[in-house]
């Protein structure tokens, strides 16, 4: 593998959001190999591409070429949620490619995410309309076929939540609310794939090479513009203040008046860590759980304390040194990504922090990438029930348990169970499983 090459209707959709469009960014800088991409097997992104496929992807004169051996994806290491993607492509007479949209880094983008087809009809003369250029593979056919064989074609793709709009060569060919697309889709082996309505709402983009006869897939003028959707603008303003006073938060978080503090040992037991596991404490804050997790995973395990706040990160590092926690590292994350390596953790732990996710869909995609297949996601957050919860909770926490569960499910996680943890009255404890 190289590093230097180039599900349902979300309840969150009913939550007021703030849209913030970025500038377009070139994906294939001219005359140099673009960074931030990885080569994977065409049918399973958890595996590297066929032997030699790393060098098959190359940039010449600003054009990305995917050559022999066939059978690989060139996937972005960065995940995206809502965006506008534009590029031109050219195929030979037996050309077959595709554009992966919002894909996990495992499984087949055609069935586990969205694959927008780029295929010459001569590649497979029995292909269905949804398997030809402009179709979402085996799921949605284009409104019309405007592909130009052996010429440069231009895609303009827009994704906003569940809405997809695709323009090919100046003609709108797809304009659909994917939440309404709940028909079953058959994989190549005949088993059922998730319907489009249940595909992830954030993930990676990529280009495929399945052409026959040594005909390179050509891509040029590729650029992307992210459109950030904040579910609660300014929710982390105080934590992003470089002058934030950590002692103030220690006096709020690590006191008997806080049920999380009083139930910390019961929470540790419920998480069920095993020696040798790797856990990421996302939103570690003052580091309440660091010493508990450190002891539980032992010398063969590891704890990654993750936080957005610069003052918290500095405090956490000081606490690690002071307590001699040799198996703990501290990572500063971004507002839309936890910033962890792919397949690096067994457990993601989010305690009273999920409601501070300003960009939950993108953040969940990064957690999904960081978790090993079948890994656990533990979410503890406040019960938000009108007429029962404290006014502080109603004002501060944007949504309740079922809304948050729906968001997490939309990222591909399976809800396993809800545990009753002694001492937790204002908070619930949910366990999810990451995809295999």
Distance CA 162, CA 164 (A): 7
Q: Distance from CA of residue 326 to its chain's centroid? A: 30
Residue pair 2/54 in contact (Cβ under 8 Å)? The answer is yes
DSSP class per residue in 17-57: -EEEE---EESS-TTSPPSSEEEEETTEEEEEPSTTHHHHE
Confidence band of 7 (pLDDT split at 50, 70, 90): very low
Confidence band of 14 (pLDDT split at 50, 70, 90): very low
CA dihedral 77, 83, 87, 92 (to 10 degrees): 70
Confidence band of 335 (pLDDT split at 50, 70, 90): very high
Can you give the pLDDT at residue 176?
98
Residue 29 has pLDDT above 90, yes or no: no
Can you give the pLDDT at residue 134?
98
* CA dist list (Å): 157 to 87, 172, 306: 9, 10, 34
Confidence band of 3 (pLDDT split at 50, 70, 90): very low
Terminal Cα distance for the chain, rounded: 20
Q: Lowest-pLDDT range, 59-68, 91-100, 389-398?
A: 59-68
Can you give the pLDDT at residue 191?
96
Which residues are CB-contacts of 129 (< 8 A; sequence separation ≥ 6)? 135, 141, 142, 145
Q: What is the mean pLDDT of residues 238-259?
A: 97
Residue 11 has pLDDT above 50, yes or no: no
Distance CA 382, CA 359 (A): 18
Alpha-helical segments (H) within 234-390:
246-253, 259-262, 264-271, 290-297, 310-323, 360-370
3-state SS, residue 258: coil
Hey, where are the domains in the chain?
Answer: 11-230, 246-433
Q: What is the mean pLDDT of the chain?
A: 93
Can you give the pLDDT at residue 5?
37
pLDDT in tens, 141-182: 999 999 999 999 999 999 999 999 999 999 999 999 999 999
Question: Which residue, among 73, 375, 82, has the nearest Cα to 200 in the 3D structure?
Answer: 82
Q: Lowest-pLDDT range, 58-67, 313-322, 343-352, 423-432?
A: 58-67
Residue 274 has pLDDT above 60, yes or no: yes
Distance CA 279, CA 328 (A): 10
**Residue of 9 and 373 predicted with greater confidence:** 373
The model's pTM is 0.90
Confidence band of 31 (pLDDT split at 50, 70, 90): low
pLDDT in tens, 68-122: 999 999 999 999 999 999 999 999 999 999 999 999 999 999 999 999 999 999 9
Distance CA 151, CA 154 (A): 10
Domains 11-230 and 246-433 share a fold: no
Which residues are CB-contacts of 237 (< 8 A; sequence separation ≥ 6)? none
**Domain 11-230, CATH:** 2.60.120.560
For the 246-433 domain, the top CATH level (class) is alpha beta
DSSP class per residue in 133-153: TTSBTTTB--SS----TTS-E
Per-position b or e across 43-75, b if 16+ CB within 10 A of its CB: bebeebbbeebbebbebeeebbbbbbebbbbbb
């Amino acid at each position: 593998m190289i590093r230097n090459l180039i599900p349902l209707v979300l309840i969150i959709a009913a939550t007021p959001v703030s849209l913030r469009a970025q500038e377009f960014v070139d994906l294939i800088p001219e005359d140099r190999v673009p960074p931030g991409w990885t080569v994977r097997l065409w049918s399973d992104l958890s595996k590297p591409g066929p032997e030699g496929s790393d060098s098959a992807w190359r940039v010449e004169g600003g054009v990305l070429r995917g050559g022999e051996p066939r059978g690989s994806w060139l996937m972005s290491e960065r995940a995206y949620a809502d965006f506008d993607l534009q590029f031109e492509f050219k195929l030979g007479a037996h050309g077959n490619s595709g554009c992966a949209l919002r894909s996990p880094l495992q499984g087949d983008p055609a069935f586990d995410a969205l694959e927008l087809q780029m295929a010459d009809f001569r590649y497979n003369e029995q292909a269905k309309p949804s398997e030809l250029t402009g179709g979402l593979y085996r799921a949605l056919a284009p409104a019309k076929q405007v592909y130009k064989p052996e010429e440069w074609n231009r895609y303009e793709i827009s994704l906003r939540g569940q809405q997809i709009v695709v323009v090919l060569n100046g003609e709108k060919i797809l304009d659909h609310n994917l939440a309404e697309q709940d028909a079953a889709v058959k994989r190549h082996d005949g088993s059922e794939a998730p319907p489009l309505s249940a595909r992830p709402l954030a993930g990676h983009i990529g280009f495929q090479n399945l052409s026959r006869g040594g005909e390179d897939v050509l891509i040029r003028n590729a650029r992307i513009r992210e459109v950030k959707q904040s579910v609660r603008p300014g929710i982390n303003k105080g934590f992003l203040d470089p002058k934030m006073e950590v002692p103030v938060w220690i006096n709020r978080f690590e006191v008997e008046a806080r049920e999380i503090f009083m139930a910390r040992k019961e929470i540790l037991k419920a998480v069920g860590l095993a020696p040798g596991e790797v856990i990421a404490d996302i939103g570690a804050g003052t580091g309440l759980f660091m010493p508990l997790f450190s002891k539980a995973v032992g010398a063969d395990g590891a704890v990654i304390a993750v936080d957005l706040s610069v003052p918290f990160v500095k405090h956490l590092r000081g606490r690690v040194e002071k307590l001699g926690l040799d198996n703990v590292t501290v990572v500063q994350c971004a507002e839309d990504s936890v910033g962890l390596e792919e397949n690096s953790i067994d457990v993601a732990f989010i305690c009273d922090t999920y409601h501070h996710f300003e960009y939950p869909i993108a953040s969940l995609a990064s957690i999904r990438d960081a978790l090993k297949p079948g890994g656990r996601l533990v979410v503890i957050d406040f019960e938000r029930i009108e007429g029962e919860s404290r006014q502080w909770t109603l004002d501060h926490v944007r949504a309740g348990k079922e809304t948050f569960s729906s968001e997490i499910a939309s990222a591909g996680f399976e809800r396993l169970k809800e545990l009753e943890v002694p001492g937790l009255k204002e908070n619930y404890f949910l366990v999810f499983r990451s995809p295999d």
